[in-house]
Amino acid sequence: MSPLPLDRFLPGVSPMVYGCMGLGGDWDASPVEARHVTQAHRALDAALEAGINFFDHADIYALGKAESAFGRALKERPALRESIFLQSKCGIRFEDAKGPKRFDFSAEWIRASVEGSLRRLGVETLDVLQLHRPDPLMVPEEIAEAFTALRGEGKVRHFGVSNMQRHQLEFLQAALDAPLVANQLELGLHRLEFLEEGVLANQPEGTASNFTPGSLEYCRRHGVQLQAWGCLSQGRFTGRALDDQPALVKATAALVDALAEQYGVSREAIVLAWLRRHPANIQPVIGSTDPARIAASGEALRIRLSREDWYRLYVCARGAELP
């Protein structure tokens, strides 16, 4: 595979990302315990062993405890900071005394979120900060001021977004003096809209695609790293009980099984290799806390699916032949 688009900004960054949402215990006000730190150590070791050196956080994960647990593990192994990349996200606020669940891209909230993440992680700099979900009230010029200040203070090296389409990217980028380096979207065998939007152009079925036309091409043209959250499809194709699943999911899981045997890798590796086969050099974000499943996911780096096997999986997952 050619270098990742993100490699221009973070040389040596891994082709896959470890997503830390599962760390830190329950999403409540209970404290981080030693067992949560141990879990973070195990996840770190499994990810590094699998060839993953990029770790994805968000200020809301486990209400901040995911970052805290990871930060405590990192404090016990400070030399690791020099060999890993850290990304976090901000912009989601849960219901509180001031209002309902909402999105907040105000300069004040962005700064407070970054400083909170740095404190919980115990580091001085985030390699990447992403805006988590589009805020209808966002003012690009205000965001630009916040980004410029944070970069100037050495608190964030690069900026990106999550769950945005091309028009939002273009609108925001026009106000910034540095490129947005990544866009994290839900992509996978269970979420095919990023492919269907193009394949079904000029087809009646295409009207049902919930993916803004040109978003994929915009990211590829402008070197925005596509990252795929939810890419293991919640285990639909890698061993989860399928009694309540539709026939096309069962058929796709069976095909994943057959290809795993053919390529001599895990089922997780096949699911992830399918994403990695796309020429956009998509970066899968692995969210499992199970070291064995993290290791199984790492096997995706060993293989490249043939064009025919890629299409077999795509056609099977979409449940109908291509137009």
Catalytic residues: 61
Residue type, 109: W
76 burial (CB, 10 Å; 0-12 / 13-18 / 19+) is exposed
> What are the backbone dihedrals phi and psi of residue 177, each rounded to the nearest 5 degrees, phi first?
-100, 5
CA pair distance 298, 49, nearest whole angstrom: 8
Tell me phi and psi for residue 37, to 5 degrees.
Answer: -70, -40
* Contact partners, residue 160, CB within 8 Å, separation at least 6: 87, 128, 129, 130, 131, 180, 181, 182, 183, 184, 224, 225
Do residues 187 and 228 touch, judged by C-beta distance below 8 A?
yes
What is the three-class DSSP state of 156?
Answer: strand
